[in-house]
Amino acid sequence: MVSRTTDDYQKLAIAGCEILCEPAFWAGFDRSSAQGFYDYFRQLTEYEPKRAEKFGIKHYCWLCINPKEADDPVFAREVMSLIPDFLQRNTVLGIGEIGLNKNTRNELTIFEEHVQIALQYDLPILIHTPHLEDKKKGTKLILDALANFSSLQREKVIIDHVEEHTAAMVLDQGYWAGMTLYPESKCTPNRAIDMLETLGSDRLWLNSACDWGVSDPLAVPKCALEMKKREHSAAFIEEVCYHNPARFLSQSKNFSL
């Protein structure tokens, strides 16, 4: 939501949105210092919750250095050293969105170090999978890396941006899978509904992509409307759009409805 205008909060409130969870993300440009991340973490934990509250919406966040900026391990570790000081703030859900962007060795190393932070503080994890042709390879690399953490509770991990060729891989290994609704890549509403009809609703959730490109904060309610047109029941729609994310997020000690 740091990339969105106040109008988006108004529209979300009118659409019935009660809660937002915002991952630590790219700023639209590469930040040049860890201090820039320090201010960004303050923005996520101090300013955005107040902006959302004006519209009756609870704002939660995840913290990390995102994969797009994680290919320099020295810089990434400098940023990661800031994270523990923010974990005590009562709107922080966990670590995310960590993962891979170009599937590099450095990205994978920093990903694993983020997982270690999450385990140390007993936090849920939100994972970004790469785009387009790198997605299946990147998802497999992520799953292989996670398998090395014997103490990891898989039900506390959501692997986001799944598509038709990666969703079953994620679910079969006991993780949650996120379907990111996006007009130009990732997943359209009808593709997401196709996957729900194929895979069922267990450990799947929908989320709206909101970033610096063409994206739509109202993608989830619009997808709910498409589900209604395809004659899914109100109970099924509520399960996918409300109860599933609430079920996963409730594993964070800071989350409450």
pLDDT tens sequence across 233-254: 999 999 999 999 999 999 999 9
pTM above 0.75, yes or no: yes
pLDDT tens sequence across 104-133: 999 999 999 999 999 999 999 999 999 877
Give the least confident one: 34-43, 147-156, 181-190: 181-190
pLDDT tens sequence across 207-237: 998 888 888 999 999 999 999 999 999 999 9
What is the reported pLDDT for 185?
66
How far, in Å, CA of 81 to CA of 238, rounded? Answer: 39
- All domains of the chain in start order, with CATH: 6-249 (3.20.20.140)
How far, in Å, CA of 189 to CA of 61, rounded? Answer: 24
pLDDT band at 48 (very low <50, low <70, confident <90, very high): very high
* SS3 assignment, position 11: helix
Long-range pairs of 211-216 with CB within 8 A, sequence gap ≥ 24: 211/3, 211/25, 211/26, 212/3, 212/26, 212/28, 213/184, 214/183, 214/184, 215/182, 215/183, 216/181, 216/183
The answer to whether the beta carbons of residues 58 and 21 sit under 8 Å apart is no
Q: Give strand pairing partners of 177.
A: 159, 204
